[in-house]
Structure 1
Amino acid sequence: MKQDAEKFSLAINVQEQDIDELGHVNNVVYLRWVQEVATAHWNHAAPAGLQEMYTWVVIRHEIDYFYPAFLGDNIIGYTWVGEHQGAKFVRFVKLCQAGSGKVLAEAKTTWCLLDAKTKRPRRIEQDVLSIL
């Protein structure tokens, strides 16, 4: 596994609307953060030309929850990509409490690369591999 310094990271602040009736961040919010971290990584790494050519769609999420987050917490989402095959890429996201580094949740998500115009799956080629 990559060291945190080698991964893309995104700061996340827990907002009031993230909190559920149990007083902590709702599980669905963690999943939203997984997608936000992944999207931010693509937008950061991919030049405008690639962003115009390609888009991504999630085809599978697996997420493990370890500890709750609460209103006012600062979270850091780390992401990195794993293996790819055809049009599919595995991406990992780790959501940690800022400061302590305590892992709150981890996700493994399978994404499918699409041609932005046709919305059809597109084999992942070197132009994409070289930036991730």
Structure 2
Amino acid sequence: MRQPRSGFKAHVRVRFHECDPYGHVNNAVYLGYLEQVAIDHAAAAGWSSARLRAEVGAVFVARRHEIEFLLPSFENDMLEVVTWARDISGARAWRGYHIRRMDGDIHSMPANRMIEPAEIESPPRGQLVLRASSEWVLANVERGRPVRIPVHLGDAFLIPAEGE
């Protein structure tokens, strides 16, 4: 399996309207956090959706998400959302994620940024709220059909394996 070239870390404060009647973050909101951090990672790696459309004629669409909910989050919690590429094959790409509840003020945390692979699973800070994985498909914007992920696009996220 190839190793990630980078990851991406974002910080969010849970807002009132993201919570259900019990005061917990609604499960669908977590999915929004995961999708946004994936989009931000791609853009930071030089592959915004605009560039994908212009150069490849395609965009990534979600095919499958698996989320393991471990702890609830509440209004005003500060969350750290981390993502990284796990694998690429044909038209499909897989990502890993985790979200941690952090102590302190969001303004004292580093800005959203690319991170080195060693930081993805660095010594844990905060409480692990969830772990997730997703499968994305690169789809042609005109036909809506899957297209093979170009090697140079995959190499922006994963280090080529020996012999590739």
TM-score, normalised to structure 2, is 0.71
Instruction: Measure, in 1, the Cα distance between the counterparts of 2:65 and 2:146.
Output: 18
* 8 Å Cα contact 1:64-1:107 kept in structure 2: yes
Q: 1:63 aligns with which of 67, 79, 85?
A: 67
Q: Distance in 1 between matches of 2:37 and 2:134?
A: 12
Shift of residue 17, structure 1, vs aligned partner: 0.7
Secondary structure of residue in 2 paired with 1:40: helix
Decide whether the 8 Å contact of 2:87 with 2:94 is kept in 1.
yes
Query: 1:107 maps to which residue?
Result: 132
Deviation at 1:7, TM superposition (A): 2.2
| Aligned match of 2:51 | 49
2:92 corresponds to: 88
- With a CA cutoff of 8 Å and minimum separation of 6, indicate the structure with the bigger relative contact order: 2
2:79 aligned to 69, 75, 79, which one? Answer: 75
Q: CA deviation at 1:51?
A: 4.9
The equivalent of 2:30 in structure 1 is: 30
Q: Quick check: 14-23 or 99-108, which moved more? A: 99-108
Which blocks of at least 5 consecutive residues in structure 1 are unaligned? Answer: 1-5
Please give the per-residue CA displacement for 1:47-89, whole angstroms capped at 9, x wherever unaligned.
6533533311111110000011111111111000112221011
RMSD of aligned Cα (Å)? 1.7
State the one-letter code of the partner of 1:42.
Answer: A
User: Which whole-Å CA distance do the structure 2 matches of 1:36 and 1:65 have between them?
Assistant: 18
TM-score (norm 1): 0.86
Q: How many residues align?
A: 127
Question: Taking structure 1 as reference, are residues 49 and 20 closer, same or farther at Cα in structure 2, changes over 3 Å only?
Answer: closer
Helix, strand or coil at the partner of 2:23: coil
Percent identity over paired residues: 30
